[in-house]
Amino acid sequence: MLKKLLVLLVMAVPVAGICAPGGNKKKEEPVVHLTDEQIYEELKKLAMVFEVARENFVEEADEKKMLEGAMNGMLGALDPHSSYLSADDFKDFNDKSHGEFGGLGIQITSDRGAVRVIAPIDDTPAEKAGIKAGDYITHIDNEQVFDMTLNQATQKMKGRPGTKVKLKVVSDGQEPRDVTLKRAIIKVKSVKYEDKQLADDDSENPDKIGYIRISDFGATTTKELKEAIDALEKKNVIGYVLDVRNNPGGYLTAAIDVSDAFLDGGEIVSTRGKGKTDIERSFAKPGDRTNGKPIVVLINHGSASASEIVAGALQDNGRALVMGSQSFGKGSVQQQKPLGDGTAIHITIARYYTPSGRSIQNEGITPDIEVLHSKVEVLEKKESMYSEASFKNSLKNETAKKKADKKDKDDEQKEELSDEEKDALDYQLQRGMDMVRAMAKMKARAVVVPVGATGEQMSTDGKGDKPAPDSDMRAENKESETKKK
């Protein structure tokens, strides 16, 4: 029995040896490599541990569980993202990647023995229960997670749709709280879109801003994004807000395709593996689906992995402004390596780098403009008590009654916020749309360029027979200066 185990373990060594150590260490430590003879001695010891434990444990030992635990421990020692996938785990992983699975709708990672939330998925039991990025889960159905692997914790949270599970959740600066969630079939539509307008834009023809929300990067994301852009372009939006807040990532290929949709060229991302020459670079193809319109990318501490690739690619290529808060900092590439019997290992094989050569790992993406999640508080009323309307006998506005009727209707619906009201309270979104509008106006002004030394300007359409609006003012000032002299 011992000899057979040793043979199997030795055969497994090349598979486990393809990975570079994880980049999650705080301090780089030199790796001491073992000789073949030393590796054999350690594997022999592992087999002896298995035999002694199986023979002496107080209860009947579950050999399969013991061996799976050994493989999980081996991979977990590399970094938080490498693990052994049983046949069920591997099947569940593939189901998630294709857009539908059962559970709570929560992306998690292992952190100091606890389970940390990377991000909840939109419109799922976890998101509706108020679980947020950065929360820690310490108990599942009153059982501590500290002795569980990440896969075991995931399995305990999954179950038949309609059944309930209780989590103990710890949020930053708050007391631990118990949250009971009802499991559901999680259908992930990764892209949502609509044309929006700024909350304070009361003009007759408000600017339309294309809003695209990507909740994760799955097999259908590229197709959904192209459909979203095409639909918004038909509505003549002036620019785009790409919202990847609380997006935990997904397929690398999807992140590359999403970036490519907004770029007309340039590098998107590079991945660098264990060897010095093990570098792969991905480039954008010609053709920007948004026709060069302004883009603002919204990120926060729940934006991870593929989200950071997109934000970094658009930022480094000068294609978009990134707004929000520092992203999560997961800059490593995982791959599934099937073992031939329905099982696999999920293992870190490389690191991500942005086009400028920045490593995302442990650092994340720094926004161009930091806009923290804030509560909007109005300090100045639109309708001041000191205005034309405050004067006695001032002329009335014939549309005032319509506005008053609208205000009364809004007061009646205060209990349930509309989508527009929710948008108005989303400070980061409002500032993002504000920036898109400003960038669009700057671009429109750039269409008019100065020619000659006369102070006149000519539009780029070549007509050039109409002076700029401010040229009369300059001429008038010049005449005034002459009189003074």
Q: Known catalytic residue: 257?
A: no
Q: For Cα atoms 183, 188, 190, give the angle at the middle one, nearest 5 degrees.
A: 150
Q: Residue 65 is encoded by which pair of tokens?
A: 């569980």
Give SS3 for 212. Answer: strand
Give SS3 for 483. Answer: helix
Answer yes or no: are the C-beta atoms of 67 and 9 closer than 8 Å.
no
Q: Known catalytic residue: 164?
A: no
Q: For Cα atoms 161, 163, 164, give the angle at the middle one, nearest 5 degrees.
A: 125
Strands 209-214 and 279-283: unpaired
Report how far residue 288's alpha carbon sits from residue 260's, in angstroms, rounded to the nearest whole number: 8
Single out the catalytic residue among 330, 332, 423, 426. 330
Give the list of residues 6+ apart from residue 261 with CB closer than 8 angstroms, or none.
Answer: 222, 225, 226, 229, 288, 289, 290
CA 367 to chain centre: 13
Single out the catalytic residue among 190, 215, 282, 305. 305
- The residue type found at 367 is P
Q: Known catalytic residue: 276?
A: no
Give SS3 for 282. Answer: strand
Answer yes or no: are the C-beta atoms of 295 and 127 closer than 8 Å.
no
Q: Residue 288 is encoded by which pair of tokens?
A: 């920007």
Q: Residue 133 is encoded by which pair of tokens?
A: 């990025």
* Alpha-carbon distances of 339 from 15, 336, 343, 353, 452, rounded to whole Å: 9, 9, 6, 29, 72
Overall size of the chain counted in residues: 485
Give the list of residues 6+ apart from residue 359 with CB closer than 8 angstroms, or none.
Answer: 23, 331, 351, 352, 353
- For 364, how many CA atoms within 13 A lie in the half-sphere containing its CB? 18
Give the list of residues 6+ apart from residue 404 with CB closer than 8 angstroms, or none.
Answer: none
Report how far residue 93's alpha carbon sits from residue 365's, in angstroms, rounded to the nearest whole number: 27
Helix, strand, coil fractions of the chain, as percent rounded to 5: 35, 20, 45
* Alpha-carbon distances of 418 from 320, 412, 414, 422, 428, rounded to whole Å: 29, 12, 9, 6, 18
Rg (CA), the chain: 29
Which helix (H) or strand (E) covers residue 137, if one does?
strand 136-140
Give SS3 for 39. Answer: helix
Q: Which of 227, 222, 280 is nearest to 251 (CA)?
A: 222
Single out the catalytic residue among 316, 423, 426, 434. 316
Please give the positions annotated as active site: 305, 316, 330
